[in-house]
Structure 1
Amino acid sequence: MITLHGHPFSRAHRVMWMLKELGLPFEHVPTDFRGGATRTPQHLAINPNGRVPALVDGDLTLFESLAINLYLARRYGGPLAPADVAEEALATQWSFWVATEVEKPLLLAAANLMLFAEGGRDADQAALACRKLDRPLRVMESHLAMLPYLLGERFTVADLNVSAVMTLIPITGVPLADYPKVAAWLDRCLERPAAADWKPITFSIPRPPTEAGILAMFV
């Protein structure tokens, strides 16, 4: 039995989506990072970083959501899995790309547009973060002008990993008017039935005093 530790409002959603796409039964341990549950000795024994998600599959314990999804695709196969070693490399490439090029400015934009409590939002910081997203989004726009999905004609783990990171775009209103191919692709990905839990974020958070503190809150 697979066990997933994490809360749907965290990066654990990415793994929940993958497990549902694959039709794999799993036990969900709803570990909420907002209440200190990720800092207990029991959770630190599973993920010593004190973060979520963490996945246990038999004797294997994994953390890092995008790596977990790549493992699940490799281990259990199915239509989302890479068809060959070249597709596996490309799925890894896009997963690293979204983590290094998109996630940080997107988190900063989303926080200042909606996620911070109203008095802690900064419109100038939101605009700056959106400008930083322009370069990677133009890379993606150019790529999707040639293909409907990141690896070709079908939805794969590469699309799931990238779009799961980008769920904050429709939630918080980060503009995509200049990137119509990206917008259409993201809609297709997030309309999949297994992705349904991405929508309901109903909480706000106080603004930390530093940028490092901002990023540390999104575990």
Structure 2
Amino acid sequence: MYKVIGATKTRAMRVMWMLEELGQPYDHLPCAPRSNEAKQYNPSGKIPALVDGDDVLTDSVAIMQYLADKHGALTAPPGTAARAHQDALTFWLIDEMDAILWAAAKHSFVFPQEQRVPEIKDSLKAEFARSAAILSDRLDGPFLMGEEVTIPDLLATHCINWSIGAGFARVDDKLGNWAKSMRDRPAFKAAATREG
């Protein structure tokens, strides 16, 4: 059985949601980043980590793609143009949404007070809004890659949720309603209600 390391209110939620979508059972060790528990699985203390047998995998997106490939779901097949398009969107989401949110978090509570530059957050919020508008324009179906839910859907929804919690401006109605429909999925609800 898989074991997910990391608190639900972190990027570990992405992995938990993925496992729920795949119908795979898992144990969950909720712990904070850089905690002693987290460092047992990743020397840097970063979460999430996924234990699969003797393997410990790190990085939420790498874990999600591993699980999708292993179980043959929520992804286009490797070596196809569809997969390259999916990967391009995944990497874009990491660069243009996740990285912005992470930079804002670092300047809000991660960095020591003397290293924070609060003034940067206005620029980050504006950049996130531009990215959200681009994503909204791209949305032309029930899911980002078309008719089937894939990794980018989970990743984008997680980033939109994170932006709300971080006090960023709301995304437009089209993207907001889509994200709500993703949060209404039984797998999302199952992952979100786990302790930790």
TM-score (norm 1): 0.72
Of 181, 195, 218, the residue aligned with 2:174 is 181
Using the alignment, how far apart are the partners of 2:183 and 2:106 within structure 1? 20
Residues 3 and 29, structure 2, Cα contact 8 Å, conserved in 1: yes
Using the alignment, how far apart are the partners of 1:34 and 1:51 within structure 2? 6
State the SS of the aligned residue for 1:9.
coil
State the SS of the aligned residue for 1:56.
strand
Using the alignment, how far apart are the partners of 1:91 and 1:143 within structure 2? 13
1:82 aligned partner, one-letter code: A
Using the alignment, how far apart are the partners of 1:90 and 1:111 within structure 2? 30
Of 63, 73, 82, the residue aligned with 2:76 is 82
Q: Name the residue aligned to 1:212.
A: none
Considering only aligned residues, what root-mean-square deviation do their CA atoms show, in Å?
A: 3.0
Structure 2 residues not aligned, in runs of 5+: none
Matches within 5 A, 1:109-124: none
Matches within 5 A, 1:24-103: 24-33=24-33, 35-39=35-39, 43=40, 46-78=41-73, 80-82=74-76, 85-103=80-98
Q: Name the residue aligned to 2:22.
A: 22
Tell me the alpha carbon deviations over residues 121-175 of structure 1, each in whole angstroms, 9 at most, x when there is no partner: x98654332111133222212211x333111022222211222233213334422
Residue 198 (structure 1) shift: 4.5
Residues 11 and 48, structure 2, Cα contact 8 Å, conserved in 1: yes
Tell me the alpha carbon deviations over residues 81-139 of structure 1, each in whole angstroms, 9 at most, x when there is no partner: 32562332233222211111112323455788xx75xxx9x986543321111332222
Residues 110 and 169, structure 1, Cα contact 8 Å, conserved in 2: no
Residue 74 (structure 1) shift: 0.6
Tell me the alpha carbon deviations over residues 36-92 of structure 1, each in whole angstroms, 9 at most, x when there is no partner: 4323xxx1xx323221111121243210001100110110123x2325623322332
Go from structure 1 to structure 2 and tell me whether the alpha carbon gap of 1:17 and 1:134 turns closer, same or farther (over 3 Å shift). same
Flag as ranges the 4+ runs of structure 1 deviating above 6 A.
Answer: none
Using the alignment, how far apart are the partners of 1:168 and 1:63 within structure 2? 20
1:53 aligned partner, one-letter code: P
State the SS of the aligned residue for 1:4.
strand
Using the alignment, how far apart are the partners of 1:123 and 1:31 within structure 2? 27
Go from structure 1 to structure 2 and tell me whether the alpha carbon gap of 1:105 and 1:154 turns closer, same or farther (over 3 Å shift). same
Tell me the alpha carbon deviations over residues 176-210 of structure 1, each in whole angstroms, 9 at most, x when there is no partner: 35x3332222112122122225489xxxxxxxxxx
Q: Percent identity?
A: 32
Using the alignment, how far apart are the partners of 1:198 and 1:167 within structure 2? 12
Paired positions, count: 188
Structure 1 residues not aligned, in runs of 5+: 201-219
Q: Name the residue aligned to 1:214.
A: none
Residues 32 and 38, structure 1, Cα contact 8 Å, conserved in 2: yes
Using the alignment, how far apart are the partners of 1:20 and 1:100 within structure 2? 26
Q: Name the residue aligned to 1:211.
A: none
